[in-house]
Structure 1
Amino acid sequence: MRNLRQNPGAIRWLRVAALLTVMLLLPLVGARPPARALTNDNRVNAVEITSSPYVHTVMTSAFTTEASDPALVDCGPANVPKQTHSAWYRFTPAGSGQLAANTYGSDYDTVLAVFAATTPLTQLACNDDAIPSLQSAVSVALTVGQSYLIEVMASGNQNGGNMTLTITYTGAVTSAVALAFDAQPSATLTASTITPAPSVVLRDANGATVTHDSTTVVTLALQLPGSPSPAPKLTCTGGLTRTAQAGVAAFDGCSVDRAIAGATLRATSGSLTAATSIPFTISNPQPVVTSLSPSGVLAGSSAFTLTVTGSAFMPGATVQVGATGPITPASITDTTLTLTVPAAAVSQAGDRPVVVTNVAPGGGSSAPTSFTVSNPSPTIASVSPAGAIAGSGAFTLTINGEGFVSSSIVNFGDKTIVPATKTATKLTAAIAASDIAQTGEFPVTVTNPGPGGGGSQTFTFAVTNPTPTISSLSSSTKPVGSAGFILTINGSKFLPQSTVLFGALGSRVPTTVTPSAITIALTTLELATAATYDITVLNPEPGGGQSNSVSFAVVNPSPLLSSLSPAQWLTTGGELTLTINGQGFVATSVVEFEGAQLAIATVTPTKLTVVVPGAMTGTPGPRSVKVTNASPGGGPSNTLSLPVLLPKPVIASLSPSVLTARQDAVDDAVVEINGSAFLPNSVARWNGSSRPTEHVSATLLRVTVPAADLTILGSVQVSVFNPGQSDLSNSLPLLVRSRADANCDGTLALSDALFILKIIAGASPVPGCDANADGIGPANPDANDALYVLRVLAGLVIVP
């Protein structure tokens, strides 16, 4: 611009040319649209120019200037600030041509620059003032295949405003209408990168590449013939969508995970015509096996998981194990296959080739890899039966364990036997009767042939004597004292060498022996004492042993009581020698007297005597007597009762024996009864009627005589009754006399007065008889007492 300003004529022509350009463009542009606020404030968001002519209006007062905006070269006066409020545009020509750009119609001073979109940007043209105004205009030649950036700025201290940019390009500016494959896919292997890499170009209506297009998004997809399942999958590095760069969308790192023939690639982008590649084939590689895990198993193993390691294993691959297969693996990766090998495939020993096959297209089979099936080493866990009885006959021997195969052999002693049935854990073999005719120990082993195989450990099979069994005895009991006899023991498995164990009597040699019966002799002496004997039969080793036990008893009789002597006893009788009569008594009989055992003094089969201590008969009541004989046999007898009675009470005397009548019947009298056999519950009787009685001792009772009993004169019979027995004591008379009956003869007469006078004269009174007839004065009688008697007789005084 500086050079132009130094040449005024050139400036004039430039202004004329600018005016002519404006006049030519105005019909194309039409009325200027109102300013719009866009986001092209920086070059990252530059507005893409896609047509010519191109007019764009925008308000730039809010636009900024980036620190990274390029510095301008030769663009107006150097002292004028530029590059404020910048707006950016991008243009990619479809062919080489001439670009004319201006900011005519803007309402502020502008600066206009054009750059090649290189790194860094390359300035191609710049203008501050193009005509006698504040707007700018440039013209620059452009080259196809290069993108360009256009910057509009405010000049000086301008704050931007309504900016109008007008672009005219004399070369071709076209849009894409269709897609086309620039690089077609070729045949390759699964999971391998497709070469050449698929490349899709954007074509205009004339078939030319729209090199200015770097925004269109292209999607790539795999088209399959038919409907394979599972469907092959296309993957590309970075995904299946690409944004075109200069009209080209390149897809790199593409591969297909499964084999397929006749597949095509299809490119699409919105309304553009889609493109389809030529058909191509993805082939499976030939697999390679490097190792097996496990590398072998034992014959007869159950189904197991086999892991095949190698390379180029493809989906759909199968595995052949010997004659078994093809087997579909449970899982497949490029380098590993896992599959379940059925038990039938390894039931017999031998080598099994393992081959992996990939399906077509391509594919094929790997080289065979050997898998070894070996016979196991057999192990015996148990045999059944574990032994046998000599001479018991043929039987089937079952051998339990593991590692048995169809070719296993059973060794029994020095005989080799082919098993009748065979499984991996059980063999059965027929053993002949001749093999176990005699006792002994026979080694049992199992042998497996090669490969692998070998012999098991040894199990010892014992052929032994039987254990005898007793079922019954010809007689299981004999009474004590029986005569000797022959006892037969019935049962089974008795041998000529059998012996009989007869309890405490020890071992007996049989008199006769058959397989089912043994006899022994028992003596009279052995039957003399009651006892129980456990009888067993013993067979010798090997095996043999002791039979079950049965009992033989020499039994006591059952006792029976008939009478006792004496038949009763008194509580005062003291120690008692009791005789028990009956039968079935023995020396070991036990006598129970009221539950207490007593020592036997003498014993015969029909009589026992015992001494009963006096303390056991000191109280009245019945006493039970029973005899028990010990087992075997024996048992308790019937029970007899011995009555123990109280003695009959006896009255010796009464004190006093005379009572004086009481007319007023107020005071009771007390009489002491002397005698024997008085009990705490003894009762005194007054003419047969009970009276209150105090037990003082066994020889003294005190009886309270009510006053009412003393109003009746006369002789009263006093007796004693012991409850619990029917006998009364003897009775003694007691006199209830009148006070005037001085001589106590029971009658009131003149003789009573005379008797008083005799006492006064020195005679002795009747013992216990009070002669104080009037009851006045001293106890000794006087003349008044005799006078009192006469008055009573005369009826002058009434007394009881």
Structure 2
Amino acid sequence: MTSPWALQTTYVDSTTLTAVLPADKLRTAKTATIYVSDNTYNTISLRLPFAIGTMAPLLSGSEPQVVYAGNPGFNLTVYGSYLRPGMVVRWNGMPLSMVSTGPVWMAWVPASLIASPGSANITLVNSDGLVSNSRVLPVNPANTPPGYSPVITSINPTKLRAGGEGATLTISGSGFFTGSTVYWNNTPLSTTVSSPLQLFALVPASLMASPATVSITVVRANGIASLPRSLTIESVIPISSSVTPGGFIAGGDLSPITINGSRFLAGDRVFWNSVPLVVTSSTPTQLMATVPAQLISSPGTAVIKVVSGSLTSNPYPVVVYASVPIPTLAAVSPAYVNAGAAGFTVNVTGSDFLPGATIYWAGTPLATTFVSASEMNAAVPAGLVTESGQFDITMANAGGASSIPFTQMLVRPVLSTLTPSSIVAGSANVTLSVTGIGFRPTASCRIRSSDGDWVLRATYLSSTALSLQVPPEAIMNPGTITVSIGDTTNAAASRLVTVIVEPGKPTISTVLPGSATAAGPEFQLTVNGAHFYIGARVRWNTTDLSTRSHAVDGVGTIQSNRIARHCQPWRGKRVRGQVPHDGVPDPAGEPAHLEPESGFGRSRRAGVCPGGPWRQLFRRRSDELG
């Protein structure tokens, strides 16, 4: 259908469709037409009327719950939903005089209506004529001793399905004497008293034709009745969620079949296509039946359905194979475990799984549990995951060939500790000691830093110990590196562990040139040493010099340009000169104390560069002469 009234429709089978009626189509009372259209063949079905009216009142309770014959008239209070002005209470179909019409709804019951023992069927009728469900009000004999009435404590089943083929109610309680009768509203049921604590009643299919809420009471032969208990008749379609097994081998014998789902009721039937099966067990979530040999004598497919009265479940397919199928594996969960883990359960999904199939771990059979034609579980013992690696998972149906291996099951090595946990930047010949679980002789390591990514072979010591040689280029600069353990033969890898790369203390080995001529031209000063990093600066006294770094592996050269312009010869007194920074006179006027041309001595102090990220030291002339 293409009109605005087209409904979302679900195909159940060739005789059943379900459709969703949106709430916006129910806002006003009207009469609609329902029909089925087949766009493929451009045909439509016979049109049937469908009434959309206001909600009928719902009677949920009344007070009092029991009255006694011969008593005076009384006010009957009723409770429920969808009660509207003009609503009337009926006593066995007869309207009562309303005393109050909201928010408390009350009707007057004259003494003449309770002159003798019995019961009354209480209903509500709105002004539009819609009638509520009914509830039974017992009228017990006068002078009935307290506690003498029969008592209902439970009814089983608690719900029935509309359209069912009849049911047996098991009623438990007390005070059930010979001659007691169960009433369905005001209709007596065929009753069997098992004991004073239990009785059985047969509900004919005619009473279960449509959804409703009914009152169940027990009435003794002397007319004394119990308080009513409600019983719901639901219009709910049974649901099949899985069928086990999902496949059979052609030519097999009589075979059991299990249908798992929900909303199953006693008396529900199971069909293989259109052939009814013998149901051997029934619970609200599972039905068990037997499949006769003639239904699986040749290859093919079938549909399993659960039928409850006039309602049919969703179809569930099963396959009859010509021979034992080879299962197909689609996924394995979990995708990985850590080496040394405790035993665990592996879940395998795929297709063509049959009862009796076995899951294998690298060729070792596992204790396997069949779940469905597309799901199996197996127990993996701890002894199979002591070593890291990538392992094949396979499956074979009983008497059949094995599946194609599923090779994505990883057992990861466990990296526990790295020693040392910190390294000095620029260090050479650094070895890390590794402890963990599940290491193999083919173990590898991966080291990552801001300078690059290295994959190296590890030195295998044992399944719990390795040794790693750290590449010098990975620790050139301060920061961190991350280390993980893997294997050269598979994709299994451990967690990442971080190692701190600390800055080393800078040291100076030489300063070139080693001397300078006072009042000479600008020149380049080269400072050689170790642990020079990007950003290092050279200072002359307290003045920063223009600096270029050529550090490699933490050992290198720092060059400073134009560091002396105003040096004067020594004439028997202290010489004071301004040392410019990058060609610009130092605004602070910091003096540089220099030795005259006749001779240079070694400095007794070291210059410090506190402004940079690392301290740079170099020896300089600082003698004071005069």
TM-score range, shorter chain: 0.3 to 0.5
TM-score by length of 1: 0.27
Higher strand share: 2
Higher helix share: 1
* TM-score normalised by the chain length of structure 2: 0.33
User: Highest CA radius of gyration, 1 or 2?
Assistant: 1
Using CA pairs below 8 Å that are at least 6 residues apart, which structure has the higher relative contact order? Answer: 2
